[in-house]
């Protein structure tokens, strides 16, 4: 069991390192695509760098989070180049969860110019449509 947790930690650490190198190599204002799993430092960097950021605060054990995840991935593909999509695992980033007032998961927060614009809590019918309309409005 301990070995599984260690392996999981090392894999996550490597994924974060790869995302960081991707962000550095993309420079010049080009937006990263897809959904990026971030740590605290990278989260702050992305918020300061891009106009529209959609953050999915989640945990592996959370069933509603698993329902929301494909929606976030679909929207990330649809709005590539117009918004940056990040995932924040609240178990590994408790500081970010506390700073952002995350009391329930999944919580999706849309940031504009580094500030919270709107928040959606839970997996509910119509979430995809509401997020889509909001991103359309903010990124046009």
**pTM attached to this predicted model:** 0.80
Check 31, 53, 65, 75 and give the catalytic one: 65
Report yes or no on 86 lying in a domain. yes
Check 62, 68, 75, 90 and give the catalytic one: 62
Structure token digits, residue 58: 């989640």
Per the annotation, the verdict on 65 as an active-site residue is yes
Report yes or no on 22 lying in a domain. no
Per the annotation, the verdict on 62 as an active-site residue is yes
61-109 pLDDT, tens digit per residue, is: 999 999 999 999 999 999 999 999 999 999 999 999 999 999 999 999 9
Q: φ, ψ for residue 123 (rounded to 5)?
A: -100, 115
31-51 pLDDT, tens digit per residue, is: 898 999 999 999 999 999 999
Report yes or no on 67 lying in a domain. yes
CATH of the domain at 46: 3.40.30.10
Report yes or no on 7 lying in a domain. no
The phi-psi region of residue 104 (left if phi > 0; otherwise alpha if psi is between -120 and 50; otherwise beta) is beta
The phi-psi region of residue 58 (left if phi > 0; otherwise alpha if psi is between -120 and 50; otherwise beta) is beta
Report yes or no on 11 lying in a domain. no
The percent of residues in the chain predicted with pLDDT above 90, rounded, is: 75
The residue range of the domain holding 116 is: 31-139
CA–CA dist 71, 85 (Å, integer): 11
């Amino acid at each position: 069991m301990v070995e599984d947790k260690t392996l999981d930690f090392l894999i996550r650490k490597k994924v974060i390192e790869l995302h960081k190198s991707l962000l550095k190599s993309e420079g010049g204002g080009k937006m990263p695509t897809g959904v990026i799993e971030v740590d605290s430092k990278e989260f702050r960097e992305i918020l300061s760098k891009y106009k529209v950021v959609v953050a999915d605060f989640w945990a592996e054990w959370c069933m509603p989070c698993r329902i929301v995840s494909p929606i976030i991935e679909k929207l990330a593909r649809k709005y590539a180049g117009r918004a940056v999509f990040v995932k924040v695992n609240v178990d590994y980033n408790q500081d970010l969860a506390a700073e952002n007032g995350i009391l329930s998961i999944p919580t999706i927060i849309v940031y504009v110019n580094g500030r919270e614009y709107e928040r959606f809590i839970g997996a509910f019918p119509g979430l995809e449509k509401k997020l889509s309309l909001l991103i359309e409005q903010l990124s046009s």
